[in-house]
Amino acid sequence: MRRDKICFFVPFYPLIKGGAEYQSKIIATALKEQQYEIVYISSGHEKEQCIVVDGFKIYQLNVSSGIVEKASLYKNFMKKVCDIISKEAPNIIYQRILNTFTYRLAKFSKKNNIPFVLHIADNYSLEFDKGRLGILKKKLFKALLKNGPIIICQTAYQRNKITEFDYAVADVIPNMHPLLTETVPKKDRKKIIWIGNARPVKQLEVYLKLAKSFETSQLKFHIIGRIPENAYGISLQETIATGKNIVYHGGQDNDYVNSLLLNSGILINTSVSEGFSNTFIQAWMCGTPVLALNSDPDSIIKKNNIGVNCEGEQDRMKIALKELLENSDAYDLMCQKALRTAQSHFSVEMNMKRFVALLVKSN
């Protein structure tokens, strides 16, 4: 028996790749298996068309980056989105990423009495600086809350940011991932991994600097992800080309990422900030500890002893990496804890039960 129809307003993975897109695809696939009907409105495409991929109906839309469209909070684009939603008549609207589009979508959902589930995908969208942009961003967020979205957070930190506005969060559901292995596979501790698209916020240059400091060791520093064709990207590419212990794999799909993580020694994250990185969960699902420069969402790394957070201190990364790899017994125990933590906290089966319960309650 077919259940409710849900409209996913999020770019469709793998046509457009990113952490939020990947998490949405996991959720959409699990819902489809439970006989929910899923239709996607996917932005960021050059050609506008309606296609079917992996059994999902997908409306591909182009987003104009013109000044007028931005100033109007993408009025014309969101009219197209709302027209599609009206045509498809879903029981629920789901958006994974809080962004400029969210205000108009929340307003439309309230007007048409369609439950709107907003799933927070990062910390930045809930952080409001004191500049002009921060003030406008905060004002817009307050306005969208008046439309009563059903908000899911990834972390307690995100929930606390929203409760500052006297608004109740429906649930805190972490990112999830299919199980990858029952036991910790054999690890090559000489293989170090960095995963991400090389935007400035990801600080790949910090990882390259770390690799340089280990040039005389046997460690190999692997990179997976796209590097932009701009001045920043060209600088990174030049450093990679001259690195004696650096291996660049380019952009790869998740099967490739998982296969590399299964036998790697450490995943390193150098981002300025993270919500809850998918790569952390993928690493732990492979029994691979994480060494992070700035991120320990809800203190899960510290509480479970499944890696190290350097709390912004770049100099600590070299020391921490050495310590992680040199003590075999401590490292092996950390790998076991990483896998157990991932299986107990981030499995699709466990977290989807909570997600579906929320959908049933909201509708």
CATH code: domain of residue 154? 3.40.50.2000
pLDDT in tens, 327-349: 999 999 999 999 999 999 999 99
Structure tokens at 363: 């509708």
Q: Which of 154, 173, 95, 157 is nearest to 348 (CA)?
A: 173
pLDDT band at 2 (very low <50, low <70, confident <90, very high): low
Residue 182 domain-assigned?
no
- Are 198 and 336 in a shared domain? yes
- Are 22 and 103 in a shared domain? yes
Q: What's the total number of domains in the chain? A: 2
pLDDT at 224: 97
- Are 171 and 196 in a shared domain? no
- Are 194 and 328 in a shared domain? yes
Q: Which of 4-8, 72-76, 228-232 has the lowest mean pLDDT?
A: 72-76
pTM confidence score: 0.88
Residue 183 domain-assigned?
no
Judge whether 157 and 298 are in contact, CB under 8 Å.
yes
Containing structural domain, residue 230: 188-345
Instruction: Quote the mean pLDDT of the chain.
Output: 94
pLDDT in tens, 87-116: 999 999 999 999 999 999 999 999 999 999
- Are 161 and 12 in a shared domain? yes
pLDDT score of 1 more than 70: no
pLDDT band at 129 (very low <50, low <70, confident <90, very high): confident
- Are 96 and 130 in a shared domain? yes
Spatial CB neighbours of 280, under 8 Å, sequence gap ≥ 6: 267, 269, 274, 290, 292, 295, 297
CB count within 10 Å of CB 293 equals 25
Q: Is 47 helix (H, G, I), strand (E, B) or coil?
A: coil
In what side-by-side order are the strands of the sheet with 37-43?
49-53, 56-61, 37-43, 5-9, 92-95, 116-119, 150-153, 171-172
Q: How far apart are CA 249 and CA 230, in angstroms?
A: 19
Structure tokens at 105: 């979508």
